Amino acid sequence: MKQQQECDICEELCEHPQTICLAKAEMLPDQRVRKVADLFKILGDATRVKILQILAKREMCVCDIAAVVEIGQSNISHQLRLLRNSGLVKFRKEGQMAWYSLNNDYVAMLLSLGIEHTTHD
C-alpha cells in the first residue's frame, strides 16, 4: 500500500508513472547502494588494483609489494590500510614484517571479471 501511495504521487508528477513506480520499488536501499559504490570505489585506483592483483596470487610482505609495484612504501601502507578497512585484505605480523593477503575470493572474482571486461574493447 505504501507502493500504491507512491504510484499516486507519480501519477501527478512524472512522465511514465507506472514504470517509475516499479523501478522505485525495485531499488536497493540507499545504504546498500552506498556500500556497493564504496566497494567499487576502492577497486577504482590503479595502485590498489595492482596490489590486489599481486595478493590474488600469493601472500606478500609490504616491502616486496612496494618493490613489485615500484612505488613508495608509505603510499603502499596507506593503500593497504584502505584495503584493510574495506575488508578486502587481511594481514598477519611476523616479527617486524607484515604479510598481506586477500581476505576472501569475492575480491578476486570481481577483479578478474573487471579485467575480463576490459579485454572486450
Q: Which residues bind a copy of itself (CB under 8 A)?
A: 10, 13-16, 19-20, 23-24, 26-28, 30, 32-46, 48-50, 53-54, 57-58, 60-61, 63-64, 67-68, 87, 104, 106, 109-111, 113-118, 120-121
1 binds, among a copy of itself, DNA, none (CB under 5 to 8 A by kind): none
The C-alpha cell at 42 is: 576502492
State how far the Cα of 42 lies from the Cα of 86, in Å rounded to an integer.
Answer: 8
Binding site partner of 26, from DNA, a copy of itself, none, Cβ cut-off 5-8 A by kind: a copy of itself
**75 lies in the binding site for DNA (CB under 7 A):** yes
75 binds, among DNA, a copy of itself, none (CB under 5 to 8 A by kind): DNA
Q: Is 79 in the site for DNA (CB under 7 A)?
A: yes
Closest CA to 62 of 75, 50, 76, 52: 76
* DSSP bridge partners of 99: 61, 92
Q: Classify residue 9 by burial, with Cβ atoms within 10 Å: 0-12, 13-18, 19+.
A: middle
CB 60 within 8 A of CB 98: no
- Residue 90 CA to residue 88 CA, distance in Å, equals 7
Q: In the bound complex, what is the minimum distance in angstroms from residue 103's beta carbon to a copy of itself?
A: 11
Q: Which residues bind DNA (CB under 7 A)?
A: 15, 41, 44-48, 61-63, 71-75, 77-82, 91, 93, 95-99
